[in-house]
Amino acid sequence: MKTIIQFLKEEDGIGTVEMILILVVLISLVIIFKDQLTTLVNDIFSQITSKSSSIY
C-alpha cells in the first residue's frame, strides 16, 4: 500500500533520454515505411480530389 501511494505522489517527468529514444524510434519507422506512407498519402489525396470534384 505504501508503494502505491508513493507511486501516485511521484511527479518525475519524461527525461531527455526517453524523449530522444521515442524520437529515434519514430524517425526510424518513418524512414523504414517511407514508400508505403507516400503511397498511402497520395491515394488519400487522389480520393479527396476525385470526391471533391463530384461535389462541385
- Which grid coordinates are listed for 56? 462541385
Q: What is the pTM of this model?
A: 0.53
Give tens-digit pLDDT for 2-44: 887 877 777 666 778 888 999 999 999 999 999 999 999 999 9
Of 38 and 53, which is predicted with more confidence? 38
What's the pLDDT score for residue 11?
66
In 10 A of CB 18, how many CB atoms? 10
* SS3 label, residue 1: coil
Of 45 and 56, which is predicted with more confidence? 45
* Domain coordinates in residue numbering, the chain: 12-55
Confidence band of 53 (pLDDT split at 50, 70, 90): confident
